[in-house]
Structures are given as C-alpha cells and as structure tokens.
Amino acid sequence: MITEETQELVDRGIMLPLMEEFYTIQGEGFHKGTAAYFIRIGGCDVGCHWCDVKESWDAGLHPPTHVGEIVENAVKYSKTIVVTGGEPLTWDMTMLTDNLKKQGCQIHIETSGAYPVTGTWDWICLSPKKIKLPEPDIYPIANELKVIIFNKHDFKFAEEQAAQVGEDCILYMQPEWSNRDKMIPLIVDYVMKNPRWKVSLQTHKYLNIP
C-alpha cells in the first residue's frame, strides 16, 4: 500500500512503478540484435489474453522508483534504452525521457499506443491491440508498426492499422509465440505476396535470453 504522497509522484511521472530493468539484446523488430538496456514499467489495462508478461499488469505489485534512480542504473550499461511494459504510456514519460536525454541516450519505446504520447522518443514501436486501439496522435510519429498475428483475422487488422501510419513507418508482422508454428507459414506467405511488410520474430526467445 503506497502513500498518497507517493501516488502523487507516480501520477506526475517523478516516480514510476518499476517491474524490472536489465541489459540484453533487443530481440524484435527493426533494432533486433542490438544491445540495449530495458526498463519495464508496471501497469497495463489492455489485457491481451496471450500477453507473456501478465505480471506487469498490476502496477501496485511493482515498487514506485524515482526516475533519477532508474536513469542512474540505466546509463551504467548502455546509452540505448528501451522503455516497455506493461503499457508505459499509462504514465507520464516526460521526466524519465528528459533525464535520459541529458545523459545522451537514444530512447526507444514499445507501446500499444492506448494512451496519449508523453516523453521524447528517438524510436517508437507501435504494437496496436484490437481490444484497446491506439490514440490517434501516435500513428503519424510511429517509426515501426508491429502487429502480433494470433489468428487469420489479424491480417485484416494489420492492414487497417497500416493505413493510418506514415509512409516511412516500417511494417512488421510477428507471430504470437504460443501459436507460432501455425501462423509462421501464413505470415511468410502473406509477406511474400505483400512485400511492403516484413517478418519479425522474437529472436531473444530462440536465443534464450531475457
């Protein structure tokens, strides 16, 4: 149970519910294979049934941590920072990104776009979800669109989302991990017929790293 004072600091983005932080190799999308420091922020109400980090959903399970401490830990390892969740845009990202920028960091975010964009980002990976669609403000600034393919209907959803992003946005289809054996052949066939799309895989799971 956190105090009202602490909750106010979280609401202002001065503290954030920190689930975990770790230095690893980016496994997905455009920057796969790149060493990066991951900051996983707790809290998400999007509720994807296939989410592989459901423990991130309840922000109350993760200790409110001052952004200064988060930044201090991060820059010990890397100047390439990935902010993920949970859904990080649940919270105001302004102070976190301002402080990372002061340290000369390149800052990436992985988000469903379900909340308005806050913070300053060098790379925005938009991974939209059907059950809580992105806010309109993120589409024109997304650098990559990563649609998770769980079933055949997701191809239609992917095209609906691709129609809203900018022309320079890189388009990825990624098989949902538990259904990958079934969906990978369909994705490969789709991308070959629609080559503006690319295939993204969760390579970190194949490499057995976080």
State the Cα–Cα distance between residues 42 and 58, nearest whole angstrom.
7
Contact 73, 40 (CB under 8 A): no
The DSSP symbol for 129 reads B
Give residues with Cβ within 8 angstroms of 84, minimum separation 6: 38, 39, 40, 41, 109, 110
Annotated binding residue 63: no
The DSSP symbol for 122 reads S
Annotated binding residue 121: no
Annotated binding residue 86: yes
- For 5, other C-beta atoms within 10 Å of its C-beta total 7
Q: Which fold has domain 4-206?
A: TIM Barrel (3.20.20)
State the Cα–Cα distance between residues 71 and 14, nearest whole angstrom.
12
Annotated binding residue 169: no
- Domain regions of the chain by residue span: 4-206
Structure tokens at 102: 């002061």
State the Cα–Cα distance between residues 78 and 118, nearest whole angstrom.
22
Annotated binding residue 48: yes
pLDDT one digit per residue (tens) for the chain, 210 residues:
689 999 999 999 999 999 999 999 999 999 999 999 999 999 999 988 878 888 999 999 999 999 999 999 999 999 999 999 999 999 999 999 999 999 999 999 999 999 999 999 999 999 999 999 999 999 999 999 999 999 999 999 999 999 999 999 999 999 999 999 999 999 999 999 999 999 999 998 888 888
